[in-house]
Amino acid sequence: MPQKPSHVHTLSCKSQSHTAGAELYDLALTRLKDGGFKLTKPRMALLKAVSSATRPFSTEEIFQASKKLLKSDKCDLVTVYRSLSRFQELGLVSQIDLGDGVSRYEMNDPSGHHHHHFVCSRCGKIEPLTLCELETQEQALKQAGYTGLSHRLEFFGVCPPCTKKR
Amino acid sequence: MPQKPSHVHTLSCKSQSHTAGAELYDLALTRLKDGGFKLTKPRMALLKAVSSATRPFSTEEIFQASKKLLKSDKCDLVTVYRSLSRFQELGLVSQIDLGDGVSRYEMNDPSGHHHHHFVCSRCGKIEPLTLCELETQEQALKQAGYTGLSHRLEFFGVCPPCTKKR
DNA sequence: TTCAGTGCAAACAGTTTGCACCGAG
DNA sequence: CTCGGTGCAAACTGTTTGCACTGAA
């Protein structure tokens, strides 16, 4: 499943702030500490792994990445699960569900904007998308009396590069 | 998780054909037979269970429902998994993933229209939605060179009735 | 009669839980 | 020193696979 940062295409509606990984990492550490949580080695490695990723990382990927960061020290898979769900509760990360049975995580943008993804069914590449009309939909539901709205949207298909080759 | 047919709200873009359950069932049986597949008791019970449901049924729900239909005869959970994925391949049903780790299924509309769902996070009610702007999105991706497109969209929140009470 | 379809048991994958130890504050 | 956090093992849940038997065509 090869990946790279992915290009921004014409569907974006707002110029994203696109905060750098290091910044996100520092901010997350601060928020963790301010929340009264301990800054342990595993947690720091996990946050660093997720914040430096250029796409949503699966639990297993985060686990492997943190292993390298911790070198001799270790971090159990269980800790990944527990920490990441803790991070999610704190609003530091978002859980991405692509429907393949594995949980993925990515850092939240401090601006509060969330986005969705395009998944190439051939090469597995995951690209971020920004879809405005969808937000309009949500407004319509809100006006109809629905509250606490959120949504999940994923596009699947074959990306242009994969479409060209073969 | 109480449910009922759910009202059609203002977001619908096309008047749906809304084929009745019995019709869908008969059509499915025909398509199964035409496809060269055997019409066994378990399969008929499973199709009847799904086609008479007014919302996506989970594998377990389909299993329970088919049990009642078959009475003395039995149908293994494994058969539910195998049959439903077979039905999906044949285009008879769609698999609905609400991100809670269980597979749900619902009959496909013969018209070929697919829809998405609203899930109340309080009462669990699942309502069908029809979202047109989304199709426009997909067109945009298509023009950008993406192929074989499909998407998954789910709305979550608290439905009007649940919002009112408490 | 034949082989697709089935039931049963066992394997699997991802995730969660219980519990004693550990180390950040 | 304390208790939140961790590692390890074991349980759990939904799903899949292997294999011999069965019944629809």
CA pair distance A108, A89, nearest whole angstrom: 12
Chain A neighbors of B103, CB-CB under 8 A: none
Chain B neighbors of A118, CB-CB under 8 A: 141, 146
pTM of the predicted structure, to 2 decimals: 0.85
> How many contacts, defined by CB atoms under 8 Å, are there between A and B?
110
Per-residue confidence band for A17, with pLDDT thresholds at 50, 70 and 90:
low
Helix (H, G, I), strand (E, B) or coil at B119: strand
- Could you give the dihedral angle defined by the CA atoms of residues A21, A26, A27 and A32, in that order, rounded to the nearest 10 degrees? 120
Give tens-digit pLDDT for B96-135. Answer: 999 899 999 999 999 988 888 988 887 888 988 877 778 8
Q: Do the chains contact at A149 and B137, CB–CB below 8 Å?
A: no
CA distances to A102, B7, B108, B124 from B4, rounded to whole Å, are 31, 9, 19, 11
CA distances to A30, B2, B105, B138 from B143, rounded to whole Å, are 43, 42, 31, 9
Tell me the shortest Cα–Cα distance from B61 to chain A, in angstroms.
20
A81, pLDDT greater than 90: yes
B21, pLDDT greater than 50: yes
- Please name the residue that has the structure tokens 């009847």: B48
Q: Do the chains contact at A152 and B156, CB–CB below 8 Å?
A: yes
Q: Do the chains contact at B146 and A136, CB–CB below 8 Å?
A: no
B3, pLDDT greater than 70: no
Q: Within 7 Å: CB of B153 and strand D?
A: no
Q: Within 7 Å: CB of A77 and strand C?
A: yes
Residue B10, pLDDT score: 40
Which residue is closest, via its CA, to the C1' of C22?
A40
Strand partners, B119: B126, B156
